Amino acid sequence: MTTLITVLINRFGYLAVSLLIAIENIFPPIPSEVILAFSGFITTKSELQLFYLALASTLGALIGALTLYWIGSLLKEEKISQMMERPFFQKMGFKKDDVTKANDWFQRYGIWTTFFARFIPIVRSLISLPAGMAKVDLLRFVIFTALGSLIWNTVLLSLGAYLGQNWQQVVMIIEEYSMITCVLLGLILLIGSYYWYANRIRK
C-alpha cells in the first residue's frame, strides 16, 4: 500500500494527493499519515509546495466528507425510529424518540464535534455520516470540516518535510497517537454507556 501511494504521488503530484485523501476519508484503512508525510518529504526534492499540497489534501478531505454526508442524509429518521421500536432495541433501553434527541443534539453541538473529530483517526471519516443524518447545515459543515482538515493535513505535511528521509517516523508517531486515542475513546464510550444505561433502568 505504501509503495503504491508513493508511486502515485511521485507521478501525479497534487492530483494524486487530493484523490488519495478523498478515498482515505471514505475508506479509513488507507493511511493518511503515509500520504501526507511522504508528500511533505517530496517537497524537499521536487517542485511541489507545502501550501498547495495543504490545499489539495483539504479539497480531497472535503470531497470524501461530503460523500459520507450525502450517504448519511439518505438515511431516514423515520426508518431508524421504527427500528428502535423492535424488541431487541427496546430491551437495550432505546426509545423511539432517541433518534430525534440525537439529531437535535447534533444540530446544537455537532458542528464542533465535526471540527474536533478531524484530529482523531477513523473518527474523522465516520463523523460525516451522523452529520448527514442530522442534516447539519451544509455550509457550516463544509467550513468546519475544511478548517479541521487543513490543520491536520498541514501538521502531517510539515512533519514529513521536517523529517525528510525519515518521514516514515511520522507513521509510527501517528500509530502510537491512534492507539492512545482509541483506548481513551473506548473508556469514555464504556463509561458513558454505563451511566446512560443505568439512567434508563432507573427511569
Each residue's pLDDT, cut to its tens digit, for the chain (203 residues) gives 667 877 888 888 899 999 999 988 887 667 777 888 888 888 888 888 999 999 999 999 999 999 989 988 887 666 665 555 666 555 555 555 555 655 665 666 677 878 887 887 767 777 888 888 888 889 989 999 999 999 999 999 998 888 887 877 777 766 665 566 656 655 655 665 555 555 655 55
What is the reported pTM? 0.73
- The backbone torsions φ and ψ at residue 76, rounded to the nearest 5 degrees and listed phi first, read -80, 135
- Residue 135: exposed, middle, or buried by beta-carbon count in 10 A (0-12, 13-18, 19+)? middle
Q: How many domains does the chain have?
A: 1
> What number of CA atoms fall less than 13 Å from residue 110's CA on the CB side?
24
Per-residue cell: 30: 488507507
Q: Other C-beta atoms within 10 Å of 104: how many?
A: 13
Per-residue cell: 150: 487543513
Distance CA 2, CA 49 (A): 21
Q: Which domain holds residue 86?
A: 2-202
CA dihedral 79, 82, 88, 91 (to 10 degrees): 130
